[in-house]
Amino acid sequence: MSVQLDAQGNLRHLLTTEGLPRELLTRILDTAGSFSGVIGKSVKKVPLLRGRTIINLFFEPSTRTRTTFELAAQRLSADVLNIDVASSSTSKGESLLDMLRNLEAMQCDAFVVRHADSGAAEFIARHAAPGVAVVNAGDGRHAHPTQALLDAFTIRHEKGALEPLTIAIVGDILHSRVARSQIHALRGLGAGEIRAIAPRTLQPRGIEQLGVRLYEDMDAGLEGADVVIMLRLQRERMRGALLPSEGEFFSRYGLTEQRLERTHPQAIVMHPGPVNRGVELDPRVADGPRSVILQQVTNGIAVRMAVMSMVLGGQGEAAPASIEEVAG
């Protein structure tokens, strides 16, 4: 935990949502709310990170996450460098630490890291030069903190206070770094009830200890829920026959219009993407009036702007004034 925060309790890095104090989680969402007002204006840039350099260091393929991080940095007026790790010197034998030192020698200020190995972002944060910030954009099965924060931001924007809400997280929880980060963030923000719905083979051992109610029956788990978060079925991380087929998964755990009727009449539907239509979601639900999936993508830019501005020194205090000054 001390790796993430400085002596004053401000963000040095963002590696996980686990253990972040409620006041800090709320400050991130409030700062993102200030930035979200810029996104719809004709002048979308603010000068908070002018002269700073942010490097997107992605060891796993990603389109949506990397693009929103890049847009967020550009809208803060930072310089952005995208490293194609597949064709970098690491494929020729350069170690991760050698790569880190070479990039730091180029006077960068922050790394946004996505890696297949759990703990990779923390490893880089522990070895980064003083003053260089690290933001975890997803590491193995461990964490995806900005996705969890943008989900929490979307829920708060759509539903108001989190305390009265029942939130159901459905699907491949075993392999999902998003689910773990969501549970920690939502619990930290005081969400009323968090439910985890999954087949037995995709339930992590001991997940109830995180403060969630576990369901194997989808219909029972959805009853009266205010928010339904569907997760991607992550075939690439599965070993062995954890599921009979995608068709069988959809028949038992796919969100259809009929199943959605079990939720609260104003319930919203979310998905961190990319959506496997006909596997996790019926297309009519994914594109229906209760879906806020595209809003999640938009909100991701504001949340990532907030995080990057905070780890690089602006702890959410000056952001609103600067935004109003620039965007008018």
Residue 9, marked binder: no
Residue 67, marked binder: no
Q: How many CB atoms lie within 10 A of CB 35?
A: 27
Residue 144, marked binder: yes
* Distance in angstroms between the alpha carbons of the first and the last residue of the chain: 38
Residue 92, marked binder: yes
Residue 247, marked binder: no
Q: How many CB atoms lie within 10 A of CB 163?
A: 9
Phi, psi at residue 204, to the nearest 5°?
Answer: -70, 145
Strands 193-197 and 213-215: parallel
Among the residues of 189-292, which ranges form H helices?
A: 218-222, 246-253, 257-260, 283-286
CA 163 to chain centre: 20
Judged by DSSP in three states, 254 sits in coil
Shortest CA distance to 23 belongs to which of 227, 190, 211? Answer: 190
Shortest CA distance to 120 belongs to which of 57, 212, 192? Answer: 57
Residue 64, marked binder: yes
Residue 204, marked binder: no
Residue 273, marked binder: yes
Residue 175, marked binder: no
Annotated binding site for carbamoyl phosphate: 64-65, 114, 144, 147, 273-274
Annotated binding site for L-aspartate: 92, 177, 232
Annotated binding site: 64-65, 92, 114, 144, 147, 177, 232, 273-274
